[in-house]
């Protein structure tokens, strides 16, 4: 599983999409600037790797989600567009510094970092993630950092190490409801492990740490199961939540069970807020890092 932004975007092969799903081509004055900076520093984004439908909007606004630890994931989830390969423990030690340089040059107020799963590393890549956060803090101390992490192999020790110098937001995606999870996620991932990761992050980070998760709709889930998942996430102390439409990356991936209309996304947002989430983004093209800064601000405002 490539963590999280693992909600794949709008690749070929889906056929005719509903009227409410429309992907715009890249445009805007900052798009070439962002693309040039990323390519010049040899940085990857989940925006491209996972076919995110919001790439035009976000890059044109000067934002992107940077993907750490390479572009090859050690897991194979049925919903994800990221390449599966075993990297054999290879890590680019220059990556944390290059990411920090990009954040400083970009002048970001808020940056989202994510990762591919690295089961070939003893700590799942936690040390690289921690170093990247530390270097961003040193290079751009005013920048807020959201870290969209994998499950780190379920290691609580690795998660504690990662959160020694915590980001402003720790995110880990539950992805889908309990009954669907075994059918669409790599066997090394699980619904209960994801809940444990979120619960442990809350325990380690305390009230200073904002936690976040994301749910894909359209994989065959039932409304009662979505409700149960919302309650599980709140019980784990999750503050922020996003809902988005699952879009299959291609013929060899999980097919879309249903295109969920915008009215249902609006209803789930209302329900999640009723259950106590501090901030919710919900819509067909919403992905887990969409409007990330605005969501963080809502959680921060609640705590003041």
* Span 16-26, pLDDT tens digits: 788 878 766 55
Please report the pLDDT score of residue 7 as a whole number: 38
Q: What is the pLDDT of residue 219?
A: 97
DSSP 281: E
28: burial class by Cβ within 10 Å (0-12, 13-18, 19+)? middle
Question: Residue 223 has what pLDDT?
Answer: 98
Compute φ and ψ for 269, nearest 5 degrees: -60, -45
Mean pLDDT, range 37-53, rounded to an integer? 59
Percent of the chain with pLDDT over 70: 81
- Show the domains of the chain with their CATH numbers: 31-303 (3.20.20.70)
Please enumerate, as own/partner, the contacts of 133-137 that have beta carbons within 8 Å and a separation of 24 or more.
Answer: 133/165, 133/166, 133/167, 134/96, 134/165, 135/96, 135/97, 135/99, 135/100, 136/99, 136/100, 136/103, 136/111, 137/165
Contact 302, 161 (CB under 8 A): no
264 has a pLDDT exceeding 80: yes
Report pLDDT for 4: 39
pTM of the model: 0.87
Contact 234, 276 (CB under 8 A): yes
pLDDT for 26? 53
Identify the three-state secondary structure at position 265. Answer: helix
In this predicted structure, the answer to whether residue 216 has a pLDDT above a threshold of 70 is: yes
Q: What was the pLDDT predicted at 251?
A: 81
What average pLDDT does this structure show over 216-242?
A: 98
Determine the pLDDT at residue 173: 97
Residue 12 has pLDDT above 70, yes or no: no
How many other C-beta atoms are found inside a 10 Å radius of the C-beta of residue 160?
Answer: 15
CA–CA separation, 109 vs 127, rounded Å? 24
Using CB atoms within 10 A of its CB, is residue 25 exposed (0-12), middle (13-18) or buried (19+)? exposed
- Cα 151-156-158 angle, rounded to 5 deg: 75
CB 277 within 8 A of CB 240: yes
Strand partners, 243: 215, 282
Cβ–Cβ < 8 Å for 254, 184 = yes
Q: Is the pLDDT of residue 232 over 70?
A: yes
């Amino acid at each position: 599983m490539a963590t999280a932004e693992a909600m794949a975007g709008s690749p070929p092969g889906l056929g005719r999409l509903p009227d409410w799903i429309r992907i715009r081509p890249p445009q805007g004055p900052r798009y070439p600037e962002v693309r040039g900076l990323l390519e010049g520093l040899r940085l990857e984004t989940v925006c491209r790797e996972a076919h995110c439908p919001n790439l035009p909007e976000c890059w044109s606004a000067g934002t992107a989600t940077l993907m750490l630890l390479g572009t090859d994931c050690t897991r194979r989830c049925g919903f994800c567009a990221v390449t599966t390969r075993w990297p054999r423990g290879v890590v680019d030690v220059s990556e944390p510094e290059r990411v920090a340089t990009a954040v400083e040059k970009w002048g970001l107020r808020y940056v989202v970092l994510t990762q591919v799963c690295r089961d070939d590393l003893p700590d799942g890549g936690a040390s690289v993630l921690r170093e990247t956060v530390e270097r961003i803090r040193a290079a751009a101390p005013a920048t807020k950092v959201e870290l969209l992490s994998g499950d780190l192999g379920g290691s609580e020790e690795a998660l504690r190490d990662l959160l020694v110098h915590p980001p402003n937001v720790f995110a880990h995606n539950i992805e889908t409801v309990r009954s669907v999870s075994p059918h669409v996620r790599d066997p090394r991932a699980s619904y209960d492990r994801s809940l444990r990761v979120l619960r442990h992050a809350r325990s380690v980070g305390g009230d200073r740490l904002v936690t976040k998760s994301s749910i894909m709709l359209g994989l065959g889930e039932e409304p009662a199961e979505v409700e149960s998942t919302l309650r599980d996430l709140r019980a784990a102390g999750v503050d922020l939540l996003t809902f988005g439409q699952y879009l299959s990356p291609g013929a060899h991936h999980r097919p879309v069970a249903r295109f969920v209309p915008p009215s249902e996304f609006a209803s789930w947002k209302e329900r999640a807020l009723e259950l106590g989430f501090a901030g919710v983004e919900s819509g067909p093209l919403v992905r887990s890092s969409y409007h990330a800064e605005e969501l963080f601000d809502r959680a921060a405002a609640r705590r003041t």
